[in-house]
């Protein structure tokens, strides 16, 4: 794959993520969050999992980010004062990154070149979903139903 | 020289760390969820990367996992957001510093 | 029939026992019922004894044994048994017959007594125990009945419980015989240890049969002497004779039954029963144990006869006479004349009971006066009593021909004369015969002859219920001599299992003349000395005994029973008192303090433990609790309630795990 595109997209993603983590204005942070996932989806495309990337776009940006916007709008009253930079958290995040990187670089088994693969068609994914993964599919359906109902219950007005 | 897989993994690690940072350092409850979503996204990236660089299997296991992971993340986000709204309604605040009823 | 009675020998003692229990269940006022039960029981025992006696006549050398096991322990079994042989049979007849006469007499004598019912219960109990003693085939069973008889004696001597003298006499009797019984028990244990059995006859294995005797060896003498201790106590031999005269505190029928005819005879019976042990290893019929028996008997016979001369109580004279006669019987057994001694025992049972009952009749007639110096001239006032008493006196003195006592005494003198070891007992016995005649004559003269003194002024003959037994017994005393004469020594042959034939020539023997002479001399001296007894004679005042006037010091010595009681009081009793006081002191001051000391140690331990608990353990536990709480508080501080803190901690943990895993790989 093209390394330039890859680098660009990677940088974009990371910058957006950083913005989402640190921006003070909530709306801006939320939109950065959505942008992050655009970048991640692009990475997926680069890696050859187009379907998953699209799913990512639909779900995360189309649903989750919108939900987050709505929630921020609904819970606007308390803004609170600025907490200041959380040095502990920053340190931990850097440590986490450092540790992960060290582990990755240390591991020899991931030092491999990209093999040639055949294209991942939706057909293949559909077949897999309906045959080998039919049970997880059903379970996820159940889970989503439960989540839907649960969320509704949680936010229902207690007007009895 | 690092291979592409390693690079992708490093990117995903960075994304994970940023998600962690977001979860730890924001005071609005929503942003903990945002951080968790970012961490989940990083994990998905990992899965896809490994799928890409591994011998292909029929069915494509990595893809499957990623898909299910996204679905579950969505459900979890919905419930989490509902929770935040419920908490806001009751305590009139989303500042996690004030949500310490479980202290003890 | 004989089979049945042999199989049911236990009925003979059981019937009076049962009668005793039945009487005890009666309320206190039922005199007629109590008397009826007791007499019925005694008649039943008499009938059964008669049948038993008859069955022993069938075969010569009869001996039937009925053994049973009482209990087993480990490999051993404790066996008891009943035996029926001539020795037991004659005793049975005498006890039941004399007992019956005395029971009937008592209904009259004790008529006015409040505790009539209790009296007859005790009498029946005694009767059962005595019969059991006579029939027992085991030294242990004999000992059990021996003790029961002693218990009955205690209860009956102290019958008039409101009299302190009676209570202390009962106690004295029991304790003195106890000393003898200790010897008997030790002998019993030793015998059991040596021969392994206490059964007398057990098909060849009994301790009196050759197999058992062979196991005794040299210990036979000691065992015999220990058993003799029991006989000494029970039969009132010297030195344990002191209880018998005091036992006269009991009612007169009791004295007649127990202390004349039966219980005191148990000692003599015991010696006769275990005679094979005494005579084991005899040389010429002499062994060391038998020699001891002879000398103790001689001492007793002479000593008691001497004391009897100086006594003023009618019953005391008879009591000492009993002691003397028992000594005589012991001498007879000791020199080898077992049959002679037993015959005298039987005859003595009859005429001594007769004499005691006669004395009871006299006492009753003189309104419970017992001092002979206050009586006199009762010959005309109480003729039946006088006649029977005279018969009894003549039997006791040993007037031969018609009176059973004469024949038996003659027989005893005969065997004593031929004792190889020494002639001294023979001479002493001759003196005893004279003394016996002397004191009996004295008594008769004081009581029945002469002027009526204070008590006999208002005397009257006793009722028929009391005189009938007297007549019966006196008839027995005379009739008994039929089987005793040497002309036809049926009883002798029966007891010794020898053939018997009638031979008048044997009547004429030197001993017969000798005893006639001696008795005559005694009576003559007695009449001469005491013809003016009770009346004033020259310088002698009326109430002074002629002998006392003549020899005051001798009289004083004899009157005070040779000071033996006082000697015992100063030595044995004083010693007992001292040991009792010492034990009390030890117990109070030494053992008590010791026990309390041990208790104090326990208390100390308890206090120590308590303080350890209080000071050590409690604070320790408290501190632990506080520490746990502090730790808990500390740990709960980690729960800040801040979500992001929790998340941070999780992240740290995950990182650490990751690094560790990576480092491992």
Question: Does residue B103 sit at the C interface (CB-CB below 8 Å)?
Answer: yes
pLDDT band for position A107 (cuts 50, 70, 90): confident
pLDDT of residue A111: 67
Give the number of other CB atoms < 10 A from CB of residue C407. Answer: 31
Q: Which residue among A18, A133, A151 sits closest to B64, beta carbon to beta carbon?
A: A133
Provide the percentage of residues in chain C whose pLDDT is more than 70: 95
pLDDT of residue C287: 80
More confident residue, B44 or B103: B44
Q: Which residue among C648, C658, C665 sits closest to A99, beta carbon to beta carbon?
A: C658
DSSP assignment of C92-109, as one string? HHHHHHHHHHHHHHHHHH
Q: Which residue among B5, B20, B85 sits closest to A96, beta carbon to beta carbon?
A: B20
Residue range C31-35: mean pLDDT, rounded: 86
C-chain CB neighbours of B6 within 8 Å are none
Residue of C nearest to B13 (CA): C655
Is residue C484 within 8 A of residue C506, CB to CB? The reply is no
**Which residues are CB-contacts of C598 (< 8 A; sequence separation ≥ 6)?**
none
Contact A92 C659 (CB under 8 A): no
pLDDT of residue A81: 61
Instruction: Mark out the alpha helices in C279-369 (DSSP H runs).
Output: 288-309, 314-334, 338-365
Least confident among A148-157, C242-251, C257-266: C257-266
Chain mean pLDDT for chain C: 85
pLDDT band for position B100 (cuts 50, 70, 90): confident
| Chain B residues 32-71 with CB within 8 Å of chain A | 33-35, 37-38, 41, 44-45, 48-49, 51-53, 55-56, 58-60, 62-64, 66-68, 70-71
Q: How far is A160 from chain B (nearest CA, A)?
A: 16
Res A78 pLDDT > 60: no
Provide the percentage of residues in chain C whose pLDDT is more than 90: 21
Q: Chains contacting C with at least 3 CB pairs below 8 Å?
A: A, B
Res C1 pLDDT > 50: yes
- Measure the CA–CA gap between C426 and C231, rounded to whole angstroms: 22
CA C207, C213, C219, C224 torsion-angle sign: positive
DSSP assignment of C359-410, as one string? HHHHHHHTTS--BGGG---HHHHSHHHHHHHHHHHHHHHT-TTT-HHHHHHH
Question: Does residue A133 sit at the B interface (CB-CB below 8 Å)?
Answer: yes
Res B1 pLDDT > 50: no
Res C240 pLDDT > 50: yes
Residue range A132-156: mean pLDDT, rounded: 91
Question: Does residue B101 sit at the C interface (CB-CB below 8 Å)?
Answer: yes
Token output for C480: 């008994």
pLDDT digits (tens, 9 = 90+) for C296-355: 999 999 999 998 888 888 888 999 999 999 999 999 998 888 888 888 888 888 888 889
Q: Please choose, from the candidates B16, B30, C647, the residue with its C-alpha nearest in 3D space to the C-alpha of residue A86.
A: C647
pLDDT of residue A83: 65
Question: Which ipTM was obtained for this model?
Answer: 0.88
Contact B38 A33 (CB under 8 A): yes
Q: Please choose, from the candidates C363, C341, C203, the residue with its C-alpha nearest in 3D space to the C-alpha of residue C268.
A: C341
pLDDT of residue C499: 67
- Measure the CA–CA gap between B87 and A78, rounded to whole angstroms: 13
Q: Which residue among B96, B102, B103 sits closest to C644, beta carbon to beta carbon?
A: B96
Token output for C150: 């002693």
Pairs across A and C, CB distance < 8 A = 24
Residue range C433-462: mean pLDDT, rounded: 82
C-chain CB neighbours of A97 within 8 Å are none
- Measure the CA–CA gap between A70 and A67, rounded to whole angstroms: 5
Residue range C148-158: mean pLDDT, rounded: 92
Interface residue of A99, A101, A105, A109 to substitute, partner C, most C CBs within 10 Å: A99
pLDDT band for position C115 (cuts 50, 70, 90): confident
pLDDT digits (tens, 9 = 90+) for C259-276: 777 777 899 999 999 888
Own/partner contacts of B49-52, CB < 8 Å, gap of 24 or more, are B49/A47, B49/B5, B49/B8, B49/B9, B49/B12, B50/B5, B51/A49, B52/A47, B52/A48, B52/A49, B52/A114, B52/A117, B52/B5
Question: Does residue A91 sit at the C interface (CB-CB below 8 Å)?
Answer: no
Residue of B nearest to A20 (CA): B22
pLDDT band for position C122 (cuts 50, 70, 90): very high
Question: Does residue C25 sit at the B interface (CB-CB below 8 Å)?
Answer: no
More confident residue, A110 or C176: C176
pLDDT band for position C56 (cuts 50, 70, 90): confident
Question: Does residue B40 sit at the C interface (CB-CB below 8 Å)?
Answer: no
pLDDT of residue C507: 65
Crossing angle of helices A66-74 and B61-91, in 10° steps, is: 10
- Measure the CA–CA gap between C104 and C467, rounded to whole angstroms: 10
Q: Chains contacting B with at least 3 CB pairs below 8 Å?
A: A, C
Res C427 pLDDT > 60: yes
Is residue C229 within 8 A of residue C184, CB to CB? The reply is yes
- Measure the CA–CA gap between A60 and B77, rounded to whole angstroms: 9
- Measure the CA–CA gap between A68 and B78, rounded to whole angstroms: 9
pLDDT of residue B3: 59
Q: Look up the pTM and report it.
A: 0.64
- Measure the CA–CA gap between A78 and C394, rounded to whole angstroms: 147
More confident residue, C25 or C214: C25
Res C452 pLDDT > 60: yes
Q: How far is B58 from chain A (nearest CA, A)?
A: 8
Token output for C302: 């002479």
3-state SS class at C403: coil
Residue of A nearest to C654 (CA): A96
Residue range C439-453: mean pLDDT, rounded: 84
- Measure the CA–CA gap between C224 and C347, rounded to whole angstroms: 26
pLDDT digits (tens, 9 = 90+) for B45-78: 999 998 888 877 777 888 999 999 999 999 999 9
pLDDT digits (tens, 9 = 90+) for C481-508: 776 766 666 777 777 766 666 666 666 6
Question: Does residue A95 sit at the C interface (CB-CB below 8 Å)?
Answer: yes
Residue range A133-147: mean pLDDT, rounded: 93
pLDDT digits (tens, 9 = 90+) for B9-30: 999 999 999 999 999 888 888 8
Is residue C268 within 8 A of residue C276, CB to CB? The reply is no
Q: Which residue among B26, B33, B70 sits closest to A55, beta carbon to beta carbon?
A: B70
pLDDT of residue C208: 79
Among C125-129, C308-312, C367-371, C560-564, the range of highest mean pLDDT? C125-129
Instruction: For C248-268, give one letter per residue: b (16+ CB within 10 A) or e.
Output: bbbbbbbbbbbbbbbbbbbbb
């Amino acid at each position: 794959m093209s390394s330039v595109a890859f680098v660009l997209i990677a940088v974009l993603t990371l910058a957006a993520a950083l913005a989402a983590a640190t921006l003070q204005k909530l709306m801006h942070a939320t939109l950065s969050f959505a942008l992050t996932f655009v970048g991640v989806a692009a990475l997926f495309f680069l890696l050859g999992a187009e379907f998953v990337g699209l799913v990512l776009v639909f779900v995360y940006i189309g649903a989750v980010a919108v939900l987050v916007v709505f929630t921020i709008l609904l819970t606007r009253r308390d803004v609170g004062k600025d907490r200041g930079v959380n040095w502990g958290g920053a340190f931990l995040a850097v440590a986490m990154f450092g540790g992960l990187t060290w582990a990755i670089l240390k591991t020899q088994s991931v030092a491999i070149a990209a093999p040639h693969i055949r294209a991942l068609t939706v057909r293949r994914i559909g077949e897999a979903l309906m045959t080998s993964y039919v049970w997880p599919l059903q379970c996820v359906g159940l889970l989503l139903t439960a989540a839907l109902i649960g969320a509704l219950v949680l936010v229902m007005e207690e007007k009895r | 020289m690092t291979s592409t897989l390693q690079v992708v993994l490093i990117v995903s690690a960075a994304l994970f760390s940023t998600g962690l940072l977001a979860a730890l350092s924001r005071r609005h409850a929503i942003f903990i969820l945002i951080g968790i979503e970012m961490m989940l996204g990083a994990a998905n990236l990992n899965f896809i990367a490994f799928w890409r660089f591994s011998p292909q299997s029929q069915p494509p296991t990595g893809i499957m996992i990623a898909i299910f992971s996204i679905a579950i993340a969505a459900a979890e986000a919905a419930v989490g957001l509902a929770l935040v709204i419920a908490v806001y309604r009751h305590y009139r605040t989303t500042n996690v510093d004030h949500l310490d009823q479980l202290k003890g | 029939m004989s089979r049945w009675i042999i199989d049911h020998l236990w009925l003979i003692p059981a019937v009076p026992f049962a009668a005793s229990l039945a009487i005890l269940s009666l309320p206190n006022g039922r005199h007629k019922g109590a008397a009826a039960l007791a007499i019925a029981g005694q008649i039943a025992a008499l009938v059964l004894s008669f049948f038993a006696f008859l069955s022993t006549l069938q075969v010569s050398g009869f001996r039937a044994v009925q053994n049973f096991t009482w209990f087993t322990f480990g490999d051993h079994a404790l066996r008891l048994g009943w035996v029926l042989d001539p020795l037991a049979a004659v005793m049975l007849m005498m006890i039941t017959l004399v007992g019956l006469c005395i029971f009937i007499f008592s209904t009259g004598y004790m008529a006015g007594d409040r505790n009539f019912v209790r009296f007859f219960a005790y009498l029946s109990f005694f009767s059962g125990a005595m019969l059991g003693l006579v029939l027992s085939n085991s030294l242990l069973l004999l000992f059990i009945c021996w003790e029961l008889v002693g218990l009955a004696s205690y209860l009956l001597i102290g019958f008039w419980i409101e009299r302190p003298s009676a209570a202390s006499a009962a106690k004295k009797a029991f304790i003195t015989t106890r000393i003898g019984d200790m010897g008997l028990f030790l002998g019993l244990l030793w015998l059991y240890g040596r021969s392994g059995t206490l059964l007398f006859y057990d098909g060849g294995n009994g301790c009196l049969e050759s197999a058992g005797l062979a196991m005794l060896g040299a210990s036979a003498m000691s065992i015999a002497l220990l058993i003799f201790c029991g006989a000494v106590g029970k039969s009132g031999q010297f030195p344990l004779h002191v209880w018998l005269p005091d036992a006269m505190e009991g009612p007169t029928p009791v004295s007649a039954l127990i202390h004349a005819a039966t219980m005191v005879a148990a000692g003599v019976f015991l010696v006769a029963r275990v005679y094979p042990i005494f005579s084991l290893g005899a040389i010429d019929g002499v062994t060391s144990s038998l020699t001891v028996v002879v000398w103790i008997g001689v001492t007793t016979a002479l000593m008691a006869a001497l004391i009897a001369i100086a006594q003023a109580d009618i019953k005391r004279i008879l009591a000492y006479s009993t002691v003397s006669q028992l000594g005589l019987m012991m001498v007879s057994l000791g020199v080898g004349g077992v049959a002679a001694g037993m015959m005298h025992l039987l005859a003595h049972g009859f005429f001594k009971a007769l004499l005691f009952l006669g004395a009871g009749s006299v006492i009753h007639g003189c309104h419970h006066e017992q001092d002979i110096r206050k009586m006199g001239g009762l010959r005309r006032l109480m003729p039946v009593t006088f006649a029977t008493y005279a018969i009894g006196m003549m039997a006791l003195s040993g007037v031969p021909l018609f009176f059973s006592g004469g024949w038996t005494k003659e027989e005893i003198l005969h065997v004593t004369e031929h004792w190889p070891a020494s002639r001294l007992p023979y001479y002493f016995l001759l003196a005893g015969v004279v003394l016996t005649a002397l004191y009996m004559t004295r008594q008769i003269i004081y009581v029945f002859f002469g002027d009526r003194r204070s008590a006999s002024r208002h005397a009257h003959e006793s009722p028929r219920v009391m005189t009938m037994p007297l007549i019966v017994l006196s008839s027995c005393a005379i009739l008994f001599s039929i089987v005793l004469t040497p002309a036809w020594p049926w009883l002798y042959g029966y007891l010794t299992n020898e053939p018997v034939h009638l031979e008048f020539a044997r009547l004429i023997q030197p001993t017969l003349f000798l005893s006639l002479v001696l008795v005559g001399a005694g009576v003559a001296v007695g009449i001469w000395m005491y013809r003016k007894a009770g009346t004033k004679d020259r310088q002698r005042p009326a109430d002074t005994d002629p002998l006392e006037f003549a020899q005051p010091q001798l009289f004083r010595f004899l009157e005070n029973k040779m000071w033996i009681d006082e000697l015992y009081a100063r030595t044995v009793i004083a010693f007992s008192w001292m040991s009792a006081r010492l034990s009390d002191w030890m117990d109070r001051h030494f053992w008590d303090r010791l026990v309390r000391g041990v208790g104090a140690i326990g208390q100390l331990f308890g206090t120590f433990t308590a303080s350890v608990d209080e000071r050590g353990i409690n604070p320790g536990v408290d501190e632990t609790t506080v520490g746990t709480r502090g730790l808990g508080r500390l740990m709960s501080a980690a729960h800040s309630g801040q979500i992001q803190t929790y998340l941070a901690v999780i992240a740290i943990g995950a990182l650490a795990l990751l690094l560790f895993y990576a480092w491992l790989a």
